[in-house]
Amino acid sequence: MLGDEKRFDTDELFHYFNLEELIPPDHLLRRVDAVLDTSWVRDEVAELYSDRGRPSWDPEVILRMILLGYLYDLSEVRLVDELRMHMGYRWFCRLQPSDPVPDRTTLVKLRNEKWKSDIWWTLLTKTVQQCAEAGLISGRHVSIDGTKIKANASWASLEPIDPPASLKDYLLKKAGWERFIPEEHEKKDEAPRDDDDDPTPRGGVDFKGKSLKNDKYRSKSDPDARLYRKNDGEGAGLAYIGNFCIDTKSRVVLGAEASP
């Protein structure tokens, strides 16, 4: 028999359901939540907050949101949008269906500015300790490898690095006497040589004829990033190297470090 036509009724104000029944028993989030302990986060960041003012978001909710973003490769914008409508994500982040969701700017400011950076190292250390207590880590065979991490900076952010001037050059320029020294004029009139085969970026900034070297150019938006290419078959870009040490048998990450 043909069932009744179902239409979504937006006038219905109340819905009754059990949130626990919506999450399958073998779902990845339920398995992660069963072994994930984030109760220590409040004490870890308590000293960074004032005793007065507007109450902040629960730090445990923020940390679980950020972990969720990494787990499913979601940007802050996508993460906030998905969290508004995904009951499984809300359950993992300890948010009720009617609770508001933190704004993306809150995530960015807490992660990059307010929270101290070693909170992520503390999370890794506690996770490794849990894995060791569960017998997952042997420690007999470890592997170390690096991977290229693209920096969040564009070619247009590159600008020349001004070399530090010597005291002699500074005084000559300050007094306006450098024009009376012939060798100073000769140095300035020499055309810079550019025999390097560095890649020329595409974009709004013209680097044609200029040597793109890390000791000559730096990104103004991300000064720690460096021009890098993994092999000759790819173009260079602003990047970092992520170094990871893992237990070879269990593939548990034992240590991680980002470097230029």
pLDDT tens digits, the chain, 260 residues: what are they?
776 776 766 666 677 777 788 888 899 999 989 888 888 888 888 888 888 888 888 889 998 998 999 899 998 899 999 999 999 999 999 998 889 999 888 888 888 777 876 777 888 888 888 888 888 888 889 999 988 888 888 888 888 777 666 777 766 776 766 666 655 445 544 444 444 444 444 444 555 556 677 777 888 888 888 888 887 777 778 999 999 999 998 889 999 988 88
Q: Which helix (H) or strand (E) holds 20?
A: helix 19-22
Model pLDDT, residue 206? 54
Each domain of the chain, given as residue ranges in start order, spans 19-135, 146-259
The answer, as to whether pTM is greater than 0.75, is: no
Pairwise CA distance, residues 171 & 178, whole Å: 9
pLDDT at 89: 94
Model pLDDT, residue 180: 60
Give the integer Cα–Cα distance in Å for 121 and 256: 9
pLDDT of residue 181: 61
Run of H or E including 80: helix 76-85
